Structure 1
Amino acid sequence: MRCPVCAGIDTGKVGTDQYYCWNCLLEFSRNGDHGFTAYYVDEEGTLVALGGETGTDRQELSL
């Protein structure tokens, strides 16, 4: 699975339809066949959504 944010291949599965990218340090989940939601993990371990749901087109997300 490629990261939908940076298109990197260094991703790992962390749950059902949830993945972590070691390149951009973001977690993302698949929403159906054509979308995803990206999250960053704050210092307390809470997932914080970035930019809402997106389609398959990559978008630049600023932290």
Structure 2
Amino acid sequence: MHCPNCKNKNLGKIGVNQYYCWDCFIELTLTNNKLSLNQVEEDGSLTTLDDLFEEQDLNVQEG
């Protein structure tokens, strides 16, 4: 799986179906083969980044 933002594979698993991109510092959540992207704010809250991406960029291909 690649990060849809920076296109790199430098992802770490932080939970069940949750990943963190160490290159662009965003959190990715995988649900039903679709990614949801969030930016982690200084106070620990999450801000969604989904509206910045096209639907096809957030779909994960199996296999």
- TM superposition score normalised by structure 2: 0.72
Aligned-CA RMSD value: 2.1
Where structure 1 has 5 or more consecutive residues not aligned to the other structure, the ranges are 59-63
Q: 1:61 matched to which residue of 2?
A: none
Unaligned runs of 5+ in 2: 59-63
Q: 1:6 Cα deviation (Å)?
A: 1.7
- More helix as a share of residues: 2
Distance in 1 of aligned mates of 2:9 and 2:25: 12
> TM-score, normalising length from structure 1?
0.72
Instruction: Quote the sequence identity (%).
Output: 35
Counterpart residue identity of residue 37, structure 2? A
> Match of 1:25?
25
- Number of matched residues? 57
